[in-house]
Amino acid sequence: MKRLVTISLIMLLLLAIEGVAIELLPSFIKLSQVYLTPHWLLLFLIIVVSFGYPNDSTIPITFAVVFGLMTDIVYTGILGVYMFMLALSVYSSQLLNRLLQANLWMLLLIAFASITVMEVGLLSIYSLIGIPTMSLNNFLLYRYIPTVVANLLFLLIIYVPSRKLLHWMKEESF
């Protein structure tokens, strides 16, 4: 129970920080045509899938649904889009995690695939419901590539502390 509460508090903190992360970037990045979208909840959930609950698929997906809905409520005007896409991305990471070993290089590959699922899914859903989006070329150049690079760098930063925390919680029966 303590492990669930600890993971929930970390994810709540990440949800709050995601919203202000872009404001902390240098102004030349904010004022450019590049759109960086932090997917820190997704990245932390990928680590949770790999090291916290490698054999249990319900808990990470439940986290994804709950925090995806919270993201929809706080940051978007349409309920359910992030909830669905975050859950689908976590599910895809679980499938890949069963095929690949849990190490940094495979986690980067899983994160790349999950971010791709998330970004392409969001673009598709928003296009289907008629919310103006950018062209595919602009999406790839100005949003997808910078988002993937920035999020993979963030994964490198949080990998070791998150993995150690999850291993410690597992050893301590936390």
Per-residue pLDDT of the chain (174 residues; tens, 9 = 90+): 888 999 999 999 999 999 888 788 777 777 788 889 999 999 999 999 999 888 888 999 999 999 999 999 998 888 999 999 999 999 999 999 999 888 999 999 999 999 999 999 999 999 999 887 788 899 999 999 999 999 999 999 999 999 999 999 888 876
User: pLDDT value at position 57?
Assistant: 83
Classify each residue of 52-76 as buried b or exposed e, where b means 16 or more C-beta atoms within 10 Å of its C-beta. bbeeebeebbebbbebbbbbbeeee
What's the confidence (pLDDT) of residue 174? 62
Q: Pick from 60, 39, 75: which is nearest to 149 by CA?
A: 39
- pLDDT score recorded for residue 76: 87
Closest by alpha carbon to 45, among 87, 74, 1?
87
At 104 the pLDDT is: 93
The tokens 């949800």 sit on which residue?
A: 15
Q: Measure the CA–CA gap between 82 and 73, rounded to whole angstroms.
A: 10
